[in-house]
Amino acid sequence: MAVPGQHLFTPLVLNLWVKGSTARATVVEVERGTTLRNSDFPVSSHLIPLLGSKKRACENLLQYGRYEEIRNAMKDMGGLVYTNVFVPLRLEHLFSEGGYRISVHVQNQARAIPVELAYHDRFVFETNIVSLRGKNDPPADRVVVERVLIIADPTTRFKWALREGMMLYDFFVSKGLSVLLVSRPLTRQRLLELFSTAHIVHFCGHVASHASCNGWDIGTGLFNGSDCDRLGRTPDLVFSSGCGNTLPLGLRFLTAGVRNCICTRWQIPDTDICSFVLAFYECLLRVGDIGLAFQYSMKGRYARGETLPLIFALQGESGIRYEESDF
């Protein structure tokens, strides 16, 4: 697959805030000059609760493996987002035109809006790069990958999580990288020590995703992004392949200094997502640009009829390049 140059992707930043029946947005677009638009527009007070109920319905379909119905349910949600958000912001073209690198900074209730979902038969990621922004996004940069930490099924209860970790261990070793696979209960202190030495951290296992407690279940308690605040060094990429919504966890990782997070936004069962995870890492080390790698791997698996990759979202700066060490 040919990799288009980064200059082909027009940068667009969307800062979205929602409270009650009022929405406020700032749109910054760079194309033959920079344009900035501030918009205040009304939204139905039922929009966020309705999206929440539809999300829970999708999660139930996931639990029962009814993947074809999930795709249609997600498109139904996308229609609501299109009508209530993209139309008032005059951004309808993003569903049909390619070449946009869309960074979305969501605040307050806006976090409940799944901006990358579809309208009718097209998902935004099919033609554009979409990433959620944190408060302290670093500028696009180059990351040399040497050390990888894989945390696979630390509660020893989920067979597919363990298989995913073992598969990735074999893959990264074949690339000549230094890889540590941990598959046992961990203390928070031990995990922090391992965290501070890795360039990539991949977690696959159980996640607690309640509003009051969001974090990885490491067998001895929960590990969340706030535990990284006191580290002198954080990983560049954290991939949270958990069974619950880890978007809030990912944003906390970004605040602690992590450059990119890939997180789930839905509750899912312990199941096989190895093909997407492997496709992403293969593409990342080949292409370099994490936004392109995420877009290509998502699009490739979706074209093969796989629905589960749609639960993942990219957070952070989508232009950061990841490269293998020359040594």
pLDDT in tens, 159-194: 889 999 999 999 999 999 999 999 989 998 899 899
- Asked if residues 92 and 82 have their Cβ atoms less than 8 Å apart, the reply is yes
Supply angle C-alpha 208, 301, 159, rounded to 5.
40
> 115-137, pLDDT tens digit by residue?
888 887 789 999 999 999 876 55
pTM above 0.85, yes or no: yes
In the DSSP assignment, the letter for residue 150 is E
180: tokens are: 């540590």
Task: Say how far apart CA 134 and CA 131 lie, in whole Å.
Answer: 10
C-alpha torsion sign, points 278, 271, 308, 209: negative
Task: Say how far apart CA 253 and CA 257 lie, in whole Å.
Answer: 7
Task: Say how far apart CA 90 and CA 179 lie, in whole Å.
Answer: 46
> 263-302, pLDDT tens digit by residue?
988 877 778 888 999 999 999 999 889 999 999 999 999 9
Query: Would you tell me how many other CB atoms lie within 10 Å of the CB of residue 10?
Result: 16
Domain boundaries, the chain: 6-132, 142-324
- Asked if residues 239 and 277 have their Cβ atoms less than 8 Å apart, the reply is yes
CATH class of the domain at 142-324: alpha beta
For the chain, what is the mean pLDDT? 87
Residue 312: pLDDT over 60: yes
Count how many Cα atoms sit within 13 Å of the Cα of residue 201 in the half-sphere of its side chain. 29
Task: Say how far apart CA 184 and CA 120 lie, in whole Å.
Answer: 44
- Asked if residues 240 and 215 have their Cβ atoms less than 8 Å apart, the reply is no
Higher pLDDT, 96 or 230: 96
Question: Which percentage of the chain shows pLDDT scores above 90?
Answer: 46
Task: Say how far apart CA 293 and CA 150 lie, in whole Å.
Answer: 20
Q: Is 89 exposed, middle or buried (0-12, 13-18, 19+ CB in 10 A)?
A: middle
pLDDT of res. 4: 43
7: tokens are: 């200059």
Q: Is 185 exposed, middle or buried (0-12, 13-18, 19+ CB in 10 A)?
A: middle
